[in-house]
Amino acid sequence: MLLRSLTTAAAGALLLATAAFSPAPAAAQDDTWTFDKTHADVVFRINHLGYSNTWGRFGDVDGVIVFDGEDAANASVEATMAAVSIDTNLAKRDEHLRSGDFFKVEEFPEVTFKSTAIEVTGENTANITGDLTMLGVTKPVVLAATLNKAAPHPRDPNLLVAGFTATTSIQRSDWGMSYGVPAIGDQVDIFIDVEATRPAS
């Protein structure tokens, strides 16, 4: 379960990074977008004993995207997931994931992602490389990101919204989370959907 949490954390970071390559309307220097926490979903799945996949999410995801000028490759993304917010729809399992076997939430309360490079791969797609830090260990991950839409909010023309989807996979043992491997899968697949906003000035 904790494996999935790791995946979720990585997923949160990926979405933020995705926003970095977005062709924001009237992009300006130091164009900062903040996550809409009510529409920031980091979801993960992990194999359980070969029988099925278990799904989970992080309920507390926050972050910012800075679009520096008109060059998407110079954008940056930072995201933070509260480890204690892991949710797999089973309280007993979630408590185990928060324990010393997995996320050690008292010692390591946050999972973070900071972008280091962005490679634009298409009109609305990019690969975002960044550092994922979990359990005090920092490793690089690559997010395959897509800009879904960037436009004024339909109910608030003074607010611009950009929506992104991103995916990635990690090996949780790379961050020192090896409990249950291989019965509980080492690979964690992460799926991210995030909306980020800024004033339309």
For residue range 11-66, list pLDDT tens digits in order.
Answer: 333 333 333 333 333 344 458 999 999 999 999 999 999 999 999 999 999 999 99
Question: What Cα–Cα distance (Å) separates residue 201 from each residue in 20, 152, 198?
Answer: 19, 11, 9
Please say whether the beta carbons of 41 and 193 come within 8 A: yes
> What value does the mean pLDDT take over residues 115-121?
94
The whole-number pLDDT of residue 14 equals 36
Percent of the chain with pLDDT over 90: 77
Question: What Cα–Cα distance (Å) separates residue 9 from each residue in 19, 82, 99, 131, 180?
Answer: 16, 9, 16, 11, 19
pTM: 0.82
- CA dist 153 and 3 (Å) reads 36
* Domain interval for residue 42: 2-199
pLDDT range class, residue 201, cuts 50, 70, 90: confident
Please say whether the beta carbons of 162 and 39 come within 8 A: no
Q: How crowded is residue 21: how many other Cβ atoms within 10 Å of its Cβ?
A: 29
For residue range 99-117, list pLDDT tens digits in order.
Answer: 999 999 999 999 999 999 9
Please say whether the beta carbons of 113 and 9 come within 8 A: yes
Question: What Cα–Cα distance (Å) separates residue 51 from each residue in 47, 101, 186?
Answer: 7, 22, 15
Q: Is 33 exposed, middle or buried (0-12, 13-18, 19+ CB in 10 A)?
A: buried
Q: How crowded is residue 186: how many other Cβ atoms within 10 Å of its Cβ?
A: 17
Domain with residue 51: its CATH number is 2.40.128.110
**H-helix segments, 70-187:** 91-97
Q: How crowded is residue 30: how many other Cβ atoms within 10 Å of its Cβ?
A: 8
For the chain, how big is the Rg over CA atoms in Å? 17
- CA dist 15 and 164 (Å) reads 6
The whole-number pLDDT of residue 58 equals 97
Number of domains in the chain: 1
Q: What is the DSSP letter of 124?
A: S
Q: How crowded is residue 189: how many other Cβ atoms within 10 Å of its Cβ?
A: 20
